[in-house]
Each structure stands twice: as C-alpha cells, then as structure tokens.
Structure 1
Amino acid sequence: MTKLPNILLIYTGGTIGMVKDYKTGSLKAFNFNKLLEHIPEVHHLKCLIESTTFDVPIDSSNMDPDNWVVLAEIIEKNYDKFDGFVVLHGSDTMSYTASAISFMFENLSKPIIFTGSQLPIGDLRTDAKENLITSIEIASANTNGVPVVSEVCLYFEYKLYRANRTTKMNAEHFQAFMSYNYPTLCESGVHLKFFKQYLQKNPIDKKLKVIKNLNKNILILKIFPGIQKSTVESILNINGLKGVILETYGSGNAPSTDWFLNLLQEAINKGIHIINVTQCAGGSVIMGRYETSVALESIGIISGYDITTESALAKLMYLLGMNIPKNEFKSIFETSLRGELTQVL
C-alpha cells in the first residue's frame, strides 16, 4: 500500500483566515481550526493533513524577521515528520517572507508552498479555496516517494512560482503575484502541469541546515529625479548601517554626479555593502551597459542582476548574518544560491 504524504498546514495570519466584523466592517483573524470547516474538500485529498498556527495570527503588514525565525523553527521542528509544508500568509509581504525562508533553509529537499487569498475564505467569491487545495496537492505531489517540488514556492491563482522570484503586483485582482524574470513552475488546470526543467534540483542526501541569524541593519534607497545630497548623506550615515538595496533606473543606471558617487564610495569604504537592483518590474541590472552605470561598477557596487527587491533584501539580511569577509561578499551575493537570480556574463 502506498504511503500517503503527510502535509503540515501553517497559518501565520492574513486574509485567507479572516472574517468580517460587521460592526466595523474590518477584517479580523478567527480560529484557524474553523478554516478547515469552510473547506470540507480537503478531506478528499490524497494526503494526511495536520495544522498548526502562530500563537497570535498576525497581519502580514506586521511580519518581520523575528516572525520569519518563528516560522522557520516550526518547519524545522516538524521537518522529519512531514513530507511537505503549506504556509498560509498575508499577501502584502508574502514575497518577502517566502524569499527569506528560501535562504534560511539550506539543503532543502521538501516542498514549502506559500499561499493566501485576496478575499476571506467565508466570502462567496473567495479565491481562498482553490489556492489552499491546490497548494496542498502540489506539496503532496511525488514520484515514487520523492517530492516533485523540493524548494520554497508561492502558489496563487492557478500558477506556482519560485518564491524568491515573485513580487506582488496587484492589490485587487486574484492574480496578485508575478514572476517577471523566471518561468512558472506549475500551472493548475484540469491537471497539475509541472514544468520540471525549471524546478530546483536540490540534493536529498545532505542534512538540512536552518540559518536563523539575520542582520536587519539594512535599508532600501530608491533613486528618483531630484534626489538631494542631504537626503542620501543622512541615509548612508545611519548608525550601524550594514547594507543598502539601491533601486536604480533601467538596467542599473543612477546619477553620475560627483557628490552622489562620492557618498556611495565613502559608504563602501566604511564596509557598507550596496546592491544595485533595478526599479523595473522585469529585466536585469547590467552595469557598464550605459555610461551612467560605469562609475557604479568601478567603485565596487554589487550587481543584483535580475533579483527582485524582496529577494535582495532577504538575501542581504541572510548573508550579513553569516559574517562573510568583505572581500568575498560581492562574489557570493552575485552568485545564485537558491535560484534567485540569473547572472549576466
């Protein structure tokens, strides 16, 4: 008799587990056990399902690295007992959390699928049921006992994405997420159609390692026309700052004024790591393509290539927490660790 996959459902909070307070009209979290009462269909899936929840479910706007560690520890504690994990999470910061978990879990050999919904599960037109049921199916999918998926993914509105390639691009449509720079991993129709050539092929014989030391002393600096020297100067001189995600124009372009480049150079000289990430939804940073990025390359700015801002932030926290020597940091960041970027040679 074939052993049924054992799936752990983890509820962190978010719209999928919300009900409407009809006195105020606002949404509030409710007892997670009642969530499954709204979806009796899960009992017909070919797997065993257990569930757990954060002690206090939180809105994803309140999600932070400390919560990422709590989630990582839940998965780590139950890793040997279960064949796959489905994490229910608010959509606003789902790409941040899912990206972080992808870096925190080294030698992952089981699926961790993030999902949620745009409408509460009790709503008539909710997208919650399909997202949850299919996420469980994907987490259960295996070939001769070996999981089809062995990486951290995000499932929403009939599509499975590599989590650290996603960004939330719509606050109202059911198709809330996109992966602009990496193909879809699976599509849900009458059948689940996996595109196995795009899936991570992780080793199944290496011991899982969970990294929980994340350095939060970083910030995102978005370049815009008219940005002032005093603004950049004050930001780069924040006490304890260790890393900056520099959101630039197009393929990695930024102002070439002396004051701007000098401030960046001073920051780098102080040991602050600066990552060049494009503001564009799709495409890649290619420093040196245009004159306005040649100077960035020459002073030692790190290329994020086609990484998302969400993934760059998570990767920067992760690598800073590992205390990597300064002379090695650039090459490591510019290397794909979990399939999060495509290096342009």
Structure 2
Amino acid sequence: MKRKVLLIYTGGTIGMEKDYESGSLRAFDFGNIFEKMPEMKLMECEVFVHPFAKPLDSSDMGPEEWKIITNYIFDNYDHFDGFLILHGTDTMSYTASALSFMLKGLKKPVILTGSQLPIGDLRTDAKENLLTSLYYASLYENEEAVIQEVAIYFEYKLLRGNRTLKYSAEFFDAYSSPNYPILGQSGVHLNIVKDNLYRDRSETEFHIDNYISEDVLFWRIFPGMKMNHFKEIPKMKVLILQVFGSGTIFSSEKTLEILQEIRNNGTEIVVVSQCISGGISFGKYENSNVFAKIGAISGKDMTAESAITKAMHLIDNPNYTGSFAENFSRSMCGEITE
C-alpha cells in the first residue's frame, strides 16, 4: 500500500522560476509540480498538492499563516500518512517551532523544507530537498510512522524543527541544530537515528491548539546599551532578553532597578543566550544573579526562534494549567534538553 503525503506549498524560493523577460523570480503554478518534477511520479508514495491561494515570501509568514497550516493538517489528518510543508527559508525555523507547540498528540510526520535556489535553476538544491523530504514524510515501520514530530529537512540532514536556526543565506547547508543531534541523514542510504526521535508519551488524541499571542518582545543586549530605553517601550506580556554567554548582563544597580520595575508591571522576563551553542545557567557567574533576584525565567538551551514562539503560544493561553513560568520551563516537545 502506498502511503499518502499531503504537500502544502506556502511559497518561498523553492516554488520560483525565472521570468526571462524581466530577469526576476516569480512564483509558478505549483499545481503543475509533476510537470516540473516528473521524478515525483516514481516515488513510493502518493503525493497530493495543496498550494496556498497566494504564495508568500517567508518574511510574510506569521501567526495567521501558522493557524492556516495547522487547521489544514487537522482537517486532513485522518486522510494522509504524512505532511510536507514547502516554505521559504528565512522564517522556516519560526514556523517549525510554532507548529511543534500547536500540533498536540502528533503521531505522524510533519516535515518542512525549502531551497536556496529555485526549482528550475540548473544548480538547484530544491529537487533533492523535496524528494528526500517526501521519503521521510512517508516513512513507516510496522504500520507506525517513524517520525512523529515537526522536523526540517535541508541539505541531507533531518533536524528537530524547534531546535533549528538558519545560519547561512548563501550555503546550501543553511540550517543548524546546535544543541540537539540530527534526527537523520541521507546519503546512499536514508538513515534515521531512532534514539534522537521525539515521542509524545501522553495518551492525548491528536488535536490543535491555535492560541497565539503577539504580546511578546525580543531584545538583544549589547555593550554600552542604555537601560533607560526600557522605560520607553510599551508594556508587554513577555520580554525575551538575549544576553551574553551563559546568562550575564552588565552589573549595576540601574540594571536591577529597571528590570525589577518591568517585572513589577506584570511582564514575564525570559532569558536566552546570544551564543548559538550552549544555554543559560543562572548563578554560574555573578553577573547573572540579577535574573534570579527578579524572578526571570531561564530559556536554557532553546533557540531564540523556539523561545519566541513558545512564549507566544503560552502567555495567557487558557488551555494550560499552572503558571507561565512553570509551563515555559518544562520541555513540551523536545525543545529543551532535560
């Protein structure tokens, strides 16, 4: 029996072709993908295509589009064995992270991929990314999906979606998962590292939680920054601070005073690291003690993309019991090393 994969095309470079009159890139009709890539007809799975009505640059992807994707997966969950989302590369890590929190009780693969060059380009990376993603999206053993999480496949590597970041705008190998090992790698053989795969051990039936708040602000700390600027920003529910190293910030009474004032106004403060690899460890250095004093929340070894989308999903979400801090601090779907 051939597995059925639903391919959701949202936009991005992978679905572009060159307009030879103008020289610029434009989206082609993705309904004709089988003409562009006849190899897809040779796959050991059936592929059904659902393109967005209007393909989007990934910089236009956000909460409303995440909800469209989750709703479409929910409506079609029982009819397909796997889902492949074609997406622009710039914000793919944000979408993959958000979907990992919004899709509950997932027992089927949801793979995201894209490309650095258009599918019609002679040197494109699009075809390999697309074809191998289809393999992963349709991979089953003993009538059970091998991958049961949201993942990104790019340039021969399968990565946990909420652990990824885009680190290169130039190389085909554009994505990294610095704090979690790869889930699989394609070469002559299609390899899976089963010990690294996520499994939802709850008895939860598949459902979606589309709650997303946009009342979140992300701020990168830098040397010489004037803390008084924080007094001028509007009140928000969550402030995510990207700080130095394992959790340090300039030590002064002004720093403590202003951050405490923000906390007293009801804003949750989450701390993540500017380092690509490693994570936050309050108390390791004296200059991190200010965060313990004000009751800030450690983002541990989460990526910025994952921390942002997790905060958006959790803050004031009526579907969770317990405090924001309690829920944010625990690993929900493998986004934190425990």
Give a deviation string over 1:62-101, Cα, whole Å, max 9, x none: 1111111111111111111101000000000000001000
Task: State the match for 1:265 in structure 2.
Answer: 260
Poorly superposed stretches of 4+, deviation over 6 Å? 324-327
Aligned to 2:306: 311
Q: Is the 8 A contact 2:31 2:51 kept in 1?
A: no
SS in 2 for 1:160: strand
Any idea what SS the aligned residue of 1:79 has? helix
Describe the shift of the 1:205–1:39 C-alpha distance in structure 2 as closer, same or farther (beyond 3 A).
farther
Aligned residues: 338
- Please say if residues 34 and 41 of structure 2, whose CA atoms lie closer than 8 Å, have aligned partners that are also in contact: no
**Residue by residue, what CA displacement relative to the aligned partner does 1:13-72 show, whole Å, maximum 9, x if unpaired?**
000001123344332212111233221111111111101011111000111111111111
CA distance in 1 between partners of 2:300 and 2:44 (Å): 41
After superposition, residues 270-281 of structure 1 pair within 5 angstroms as 270-281=265-276
TM-score norm. by structure 1 comes to: 0.95
**1:231, 1:59 → 2: CA distance?**
32
**Which piece of structure 1 moves more, 330-339 or 162-171?**
330-339
Listed as ranges, the matches of 1:131-146 within 5 Å are: 131-146=129-144
Name the CA distance, whole Å, in 2 between partners of 1:23 and 1:252: 53
Change beyond 3 A, Cα 1:201–1:324 = closer
The aligned counterpart of 2:108 is 110
Bigger shift: residues 23-32 or 179-188:
23-32
Deviations along 1:206-262, one digit per CA (max 9) or x if unpaired, are 311201110001111100011113322212xx14x1111100000011112222222
Amino acid aligned to 1:51: V
What CA distance in whole angstroms lies between the structure 2 residues aligned with 1:210 and 1:321?
17
> Contact between 2:18 and 2:24, CA under 8 Å: does it hold in 1?
yes
Q: What is the distance in 2 between the residues matched to 1:125 and 1:36?
A: 19
Alignment of 1:1-345 (within 5 A): 3-203=1-201, 206-235=204-233, 238-239=234-235, 241-323=236-318, 328-343=323-338
**5+ unaligned residues in a row in structure 1: which ranges?**
none
RMSD: 1.5
Report the TM-score when normalising by structure 2.
Answer: 0.97
What is the percentage of aligned positions where both structures have the same residue?
A: 47
Per-residue CA shift, 1:252-296, capped at 9, x if unaligned? 111122222222111212221111000011111101100000121
The SS at the match of 1:114 is: strand
Check 1:325–1:227 CA distance in 2 against 1; reply closer, same or farther (3 A cut).
farther
Q: Which moved more, 1:256-265 or 1:165-174?
A: 256-265
